[in-house]
Amino acid sequence: MTMTTTAPAAQATATTLPSAHPKIAFGRIGVLLVNLGTPEGTDYWSMRRYLKEFLSDPRVIEANRALWWFVLNAIILTKRPGPKGKDYETIWNKERNEGPLKTITRGQAEKLAARIGGRDERIVVDWAMRYGFPSMPDRIEALQKAGCDRILIVPLYPQYAAATTATVGDKAFEKLAKMRWQPSVRLAPPWHDDPVYIDALATSLEGHLKALDFEPEVILASFHGIPKSYHEKGDPYACQCIKTARLLRERLGMSEQKFRLTFQSRFGKEEWLQPYTDKTVEALAKSGVKRMAILNPGFTADCLETLEEIGGENAEIFLHNGGEKFAAIPCLNDTDEGMRVIEAVVLRELAGWIKG
């Protein structure tokens, strides 16, 4: 794991500290980009380890802990790793032997460092995964050892949800609770309605639509879903997704019939946010829609849910039920438009810490 830095850390010397005092690094400002996570391999045990960490998080699965422990260990972790591993195999970065989410997040960190490093030589940019590796605790510690006494943590989720943004905060504070010398920490808020983000989404979508050999009759903005009960408990996620979709539709100048919002990736038998992406795709195809495109505004990087679930499963659903032309629009990733958004968020949240 290599952090991207722009200058050596300041070192306390014998002229400022007692001779027996250990050497310390200080004076740097860390930026830690955090995404959800990815397994270390597509084999059964790699998938099992990743799924166990992810699905054991009480923010992700809000259920009776004793009952969920039994269901998770006795049923899910015996049956799900194999099929999920096969799904990951279809999108796996064979050259680097890693999931695309890891490849893209690394690229985002490297490009962010190149874009903002010149603004302040104290900046150190790093990246981590909430579940899996590189882990958040390890990278927070590494940033501190590199001299960062201030760290901005950026959950790479444009819309806030307890199961995503909040759990990044949980893990950060868990690590801080064990540190003798805690760095000052900021947690970047969501940017679901930021004009830079909306414009970047629109510009990216327009570019991809121009490159198609067909014009979609319907475009779906598909967001990852959450159980409806989470929304009813006060989670703002659904409202923020709806606002993103509305602002993007208005920016594109499209009607509500052509540009629609849906939710994907439901899990288990509980009711999730609706309308469901897969059911909407099937219904539209059966109703006579022949040309469709889907984008994923809630994902900052392509991953299993966009590449396999949308580009694979939903494409098959559409074509199998009468559709003829289907396009899965790539996420912003580490493109110029994607980096424009991340840079804007980071610079906004570093205000007061770095030079203007």
* Binding-site positions for Fe(2+): 224, 305
Helix (H, G, I), strand (E, B) or coil at 213: coil
Helix (H, G, I), strand (E, B) or coil at 300: coil
Asked whether 162 and 234 are in contact (CB, 8 A), the reply is no
Helix (H, G, I), strand (E, B) or coil at 90: coil
Half-sphere exposure of 65 (CA within 13 A, CB side): 4
Which residue from 224, 217, 222 is spatially nearest to 322, judged by alpha carbons? 217
Q: Is the peptide bond before 134 cis (omega within 30 degrees of 0)?
A: yes
Q: Per the annotation, where are the binding residues? A: 224, 305
Which residue from 181, 146, 134 is spatially nearest to 7, judged by alpha carbons? 146
Asked whether 212 and 251 are in contact (CB, 8 A), the reply is no
Q: How far apart are the first and last CA of the chain?
A: 30
